Structure 1
Amino acid sequence: MAATGSNFVFSPLSIRAGLSLTAVGSKGETLEQMLSFLGSPTLADLNSAAAQLLGSVSGENGATAGPRLSFVNGVWVEQSLELKTAFQEVAASVYGAIAKSVDLENRAEEVSIEVNDWLKKKTDGLIKNLIPETAVDDATRLLIANALCFKGFWSYPFESSQTRYEEFHLLNGSTIQVPFMRSREDQFISSYDGFKVLKLPYEGSYKDWRRFSMLIFLPHKKDGLNELTTKFVSDTNFINRHIPTRPVEVGKFGIPKFKISFGFEASAALKGLGLESPFTTKADFHEMFSNGHPDQQLFVSSMLHEAAIEVDEEGTLAAAATDPIMDFQADHPFVFVIREEVTGSSLFFGHVVHPSLADHQV
């Protein structure tokens, strides 16, 4: 993930859920490849793990406090192909997904509008146009869309009266003025070789067993984002090995406000990671349908993903014991992660290179 001039965010959890849902309707080599990619020995194991994970992070397993999580999955299939009842039942019960037959052959544009309106409603307007006009046409037979929106409040809000415009250094060497949130509270901060990490727990994370937090990885060098992201890519346990555990007294402290909405078509990236079968004419999704000729070419034509996140003064951190004073001035590009600590699930991963930019589609 090389840093560019655009902010970036995606949800590993949401993409995994979308792929797992797709696997439910697959068989043969396609199923085997998807299970291997998702690291599950059988489809039953995959569904069981998905139910537990999605229920855990969304609070459906008895949790009552913590951030609001809006998780949306959907499958739209050409109406001439009848969905199997078993597939629809698993989609609804395990993945919380709608599985719907639509007239893609004659009403592709209307279907696109319908899906976008549904996603907008389910995410309170944060995700407006996931499906671009050219993504669906009369040749489309199967469409999968997923979205994850997250809104968490810090235990004690930043004082908005303390927010000040200050310099943020861009990757091209120039600077812009952006609003920085400030706090005199102790913070969870650790310093490592080449970067610092700040952990900001979310309100309610310790009132039930779920524990959500945002991690901000700030390189020491103002142009150190690419070097830092390389470390993420090369070490699958990088995040777990760099989580602050003790609060420290802060010196100079500031976090820029930012809001990101980022959408992309994920199939090309997944093919590059070795998952090819679902997106080619060799795909086998006959466990999804109760009709259709065995030789009919049915494959995932689009897997569209969008994530949205907003960070403002409505959140901060309550801390206790104190270590030596440490600065954390996030005045240049940084990486952020939102995770649930008990399960170790990364809900969001991204970077901020320009806090004033909000939306981006690729």
Structure 2
Amino acid sequence: MKITHCVVGDWVTSFNEKQTQSDYTFRLPDGTKVRNYEMMHQRKTYHYIDATNELQSQILFVPYQSSNKTTTQYVCTIILPNRGINLDDAEQELTAQLFNQLIEKRQPKVVDLYLPKFKMEYSFENLKELLEQMGIQDAFNKKLADFQQMTSSSKPVYISDVKHQAVIDVNESGSEAAAVTIVTTKKSSRDEVLEFKCDRPFIFMIREETLDTTLFIGKFMKPSNK
């Protein structure tokens, strides 16, 4: 038996592919510069936190399209250390308690967002042993497992193995529904435009806002094609 969990995220506002350029420079932790680096660009109102005092970082919340189109359900949260700050130092200061405190401070800001396109995959092969250690025993036992409500098979069904694979793919794309519900924000001359340029290592999280749950967390350290 195989159980699959998939979260599909279309940006509320898609990035314009024409604004994706490859003339940026990405700075690695050791000071090395990766040139001709591709990033998407968009100017929009996002929720933003200046966490300089707490994490020496900036935090941005990029929303995904919600199924009901009235509330924000999934959000890509980006934690970008200030220039000159090592990602490891910011990560050591980051705790669940601190993040929950910071999230209450987010405010809408007009932001010039520069975000790389990337795809990451992670797999964990030995979840069966871990789950058994946590007390989940019957599901793996041929005689005790009971999945009659989940399958039409006349034969007994049990779980023989559990493998976990997580994939995140960040690009410009958004669905047609997302395009229909685009909210355009006009900027007056008095609005301050903040630059949020992900040209150095950063932390990203995919969060479910209504349940306050983190579904995926990772670190972008360097362009994979370099």
With normalisation by structure 1, the TM-score equals 0.46
Matched, 1:277 2:133: yes
Matched, 1:150 2:7: yes
Q: 2:173 aligns with which of 304, 310, 314?
A: 314
Give 1 or 2: higher helix fraction.
1
Q: Which amino acid aligns with 1:337?
A: M
Q: Which amino acid aligns with 2:89?
A: E
Distance 1:324 1:205 in 2: 32
Distance 2:165 2:208 in 1: 20
| 1:36-62 deviation per Cα after TM superposition (whole angstroms, max 9, x unaligned) | xxxxxxxxxxxxxxxxxxxxxxxxxxx
Where does the alignment leave 5 or more consecutive residues of structure 1 unmatched? 1-72, 75-96, 98-146, 292-299
Q: 1:179 aligns with which of 18, 32, 38?
A: 38
Give 1 or 2: higher strand fraction.
2
Structure 2 residue aligned with 1:197: 59
Distance 2:61 2:222 in 1: 21
Contact 2:65 2:72 in 1 (8 A): no
CA distance 1:357–1:262, change in 2 (3 Å): farther
Q: 1:341 aligns with which of 194, 199, 209?
A: 209
Distance 1:223 1:303 in 2: 39
CA distance 1:230–1:341, change in 2 (3 Å): same
Q: Which amino acid aligns with 2:92?
A: T
Secondary structure, counterpart of 2:88 in structure 1 = helix
With normalisation by structure 2, the TM-score equals 0.71
Contact 2:206 2:216 in 1 (8 A): yes
Secondary structure, counterpart of 2:100 in structure 1 = coil
Secondary structure, counterpart of 2:90 in structure 1 = helix
| 1:110-161 deviation per Cα after TM superposition (whole angstroms, max 9, x unaligned) | xxxxxxxxxxxxxxxxxxxxxxxxxxxxxxxxxxxxx544331112221111
Distance 1:249 1:226 in 2: 28
Identity %: 28
The alpha-carbon deviation at position 190 of structure 1 amounts to 1.7
CA distance 1:209–1:226, change in 2 (3 Å): same
Where does the alignment leave 5 or more consecutive residues of structure 2 unmatched? 145-158
Contact 1:336 1:350 in 2 (8 A): yes
Alignment of 1:87-236 (within 5 A): 97=3, 148-165=5-22, 166-176=24-34, 177-193=36-52, 194-204=56-66, 207-208=69-70, 211-232=73-94, 235-236=95-96
**Larger displacement relative to structure 2 (155-164 or 258-267):** 258-267
CA distance 1:162–1:209, change in 2 (3 Å): closer
Secondary structure, counterpart of 1:221 in structure 2 = coil
Distance 2:125 2:84 in 1: 31
Structure 2 residue aligned with 1:290: 143
Secondary structure, counterpart of 2:44 in structure 1 = coil
Matched, 1:239 2:96: no
